[in-house]
Amino acid sequence: MKTKYDAIVIGAGPAGLACSAELANRGLDVAVLDEQASPGGQIYRNITQATPRQHAILGSDYTDGLEVIKAFKEADVDYLPLSRVWQAEETGDVYFSREGASHQLKADYLVLCTGAMERPVPFPGWTLPGVMTCGGMSNLYKDSSLVPTEPVVLAGSGPLLWVVAEHLFALNAPIVAILDTTPLMQVLPAMKHMPRALKRIGFMLKGVKLIADVHLTALKRKVPIRRNVKNLRAEGNDQVEWVKATCGKKEIAYAATTLLVNEGIVPNTSLLRQVGCEHTWDPIQRFWFPKVGLDGRTNLPSVFVAGDGNFVHGAKSAEYKGKLTALTIANEMRRISDAEFEEQAQPVRDMLELDISPRPFIDKMYAPRPDLFGIPDNTTVCRCEGITAGQIRDMIEAGYTDHNEIKAIIRCGMGPCQGRMCGPAVFELIAEGSNLEPQKIRQHRLRPPIKPVSLQELANAKVGETDES
């Protein structure tokens, strides 16, 4: 294995694949590190091994990925699957685990294509076995054709909810109810973004058709779809037995053993924050996203970010962003001239701009509802350390407004996931309990390793010499 590259791309989703292929085709030495066994990221997960039936169920949004995979495979890229990156530095150093050992690679440029994740939202019963995310369910199907065989409830707000509902209906999973938590009043303010969204009328119609199809199937199969749902909770002894919620003024309850939730998608910024990228607060979607231009540049000269990790725009946009980032780096390394760069970047920029035109509408329509983080006091927020919303509120009441300090005192966010699951909730609790504007609240600091590393593996690592003072 080489130890030094022109560029290292982290993540083999659409952004990472497109970026690395483009870089390699410009003659750069490129390595791609990815956690999974095969390329595709979350959206095109397992695509190279998927069966025709999986392709048929998942449809063109999935199958389209074969194109970017093909381009990637044809390019001269050092592809290192099953590599867990646990630290990156602005010096271009990357540390990761692979085949039971720790490794270090170095590059002039790092491109972080770490994608997005489902917004983690604590609610009563969310830690019960049987509660999982819509995306998690989708992954199980992509990986191993797993489908729930016992009663399942879907709950949440956003496109992924409907996509997964459609797949599960097609697979004849026993859906007992779909609970849409989108507040009805959010539709109106979203409408002002409609004209721009209609630039991609095909995409919008596809979305409308998807939701209409799910409603039609639900009607045929007598599956209730409830709107304006609030106070979602899972109940049961060792496993989900009941899914309960409020719908309007009515209490609703469904017997089910699986609850699939999704409250939107947020950038996965763990590695970005660990490496030191500056972030900005998005007041609509209420997440932190890195300060990155569409060319992928961050505040750190050697670090670029592409794909949904930069802002959630979807798979196709991720691919365009990956390409633009590659062109920027190739230009910076003088592999293409400024004129060539402009000529080649402009069409990609145009496609990207068109592709993201519906996003403001979707972001506003499916903005996190105001009571999303109105978590009851006795609900666990930090599942690693078993810290409840009440304990966190007590700290905020005592004057603490920095998650880092709260963590140091009550251990909230100190476990293996390093606040990946509780971070957004703690942030919202601080925003709720203090008078601080969200962008003034200190973000939770990520410390390396961003994923646990075994001591045995670390002990076997080649130890570089460092000054000791």
Partner 1 sequence: MKADVLIVGGGIMGCATALELARKGKSVIIFEKDTPGRHASGNNSGGVRCQGRDIREIAIAVEARKMWGLHEKTILSDCGFFVSPRLRLAENDKELQVLVKRQEKLNAMGYDHEVVVDLAEVRRLSPHVADHVVGGLVCYSDGLANPMLTSKAYAAAAEREGVTILKGTRVIEASTTSSGFKVRTSRDKFYEGEMLVNCTGAWAGRFSAMLGDPLPVFSAAPTMMVTGRMPGMMNGTSLGLTGRLLGLMAAQNGTIVVGGGYRSPHDLEKEKIWVDPMQMAKAAKIMVEIMPGLKKAQMMRCWTAFEGCIKDKVPIVGQSIKVPGLFHVCGFSAHGFQLAPMMGRVMSQIMLGQKPELPLDDFRVDRFEDQKTAK
Residue among 317, 430, 29, 139 nearest 306 (CA): 317
Which of 408, 436, 437, 440 touches partner 1 (CB under 8 A)? Answer: 408
Phi, psi of 55 (to 5 degrees): -60, -40
Is 299 an interacting residue with respect to partner 1 (CB under 8 A)?
no
Which of 182, 328, 418, 443 touches partner 1 (CB under 8 A)? Answer: 418
Q: Which is nearer to partner 1, 174 or 276 (CB)?
A: 276
Residue among 319, 178, 360 nearest 262 (CA): 178
Question: Least distance from C-beta 416 to partner 1, angstroms?
Answer: 6
Is 461 an interacting residue with respect to partner 1 (CB under 8 A)?
yes
Is 280 an interacting residue with respect to partner 1 (CB under 8 A)?
no
Cβ count near 119 (within 10 Å): 23
Is 435 an interacting residue with respect to partner 1 (CB under 8 A)?
no
Is 298 an interacting residue with respect to partner 1 (CB under 8 A)?
no
**Amino acid at site 463:** V
Rounded to 10 deg, the angle between the 159-170 and 201-220 helix axes is: 50
Please measure the distance between the N-terminal and C-terminal CA atoms of the chain and give it in whole angstroms: 33
Is 1 an interacting residue with respect to partner 1 (CB under 8 A)?
no
- Burial (CB < 10 A; 0-12, 13-18, 19+), residue 22, is buried
Is 191 an interacting residue with respect to partner 1 (CB under 8 A)?
no
Cβ count near 411 (within 10 Å): 15
Question: Least distance from C-beta 220 to partner 1, angstroms?
Answer: 49
Distances (CA, A) of 344 to 16, 109, 290, 310: 19, 21, 25, 22
Q: Contact region for partner 1 (CB under 8 A) — 51-59, 252-260, 280-288, 456-464?
A: 456-464
Question: Least distance from C-beta 207 to partner 1, angstroms?
Answer: 41
Q: Which is nearer to partner 1, 25 or 404 (CB)?
A: 404
Question: Least distance from C-beta 273 to partner 1, angstroms?
Answer: 13
Is 89 an interacting residue with respect to partner 1 (CB under 8 A)?
yes
Sign of CA dihedral 443, 449, 453, 455: negative
Give the binding site for partner 1 (CB under 8 A): 87, 89-91, 95, 102, 104, 276, 402, 405, 408-409, 411, 414-416, 418, 447-449, 452-456, 458-459, 461, 463-464, 466-469
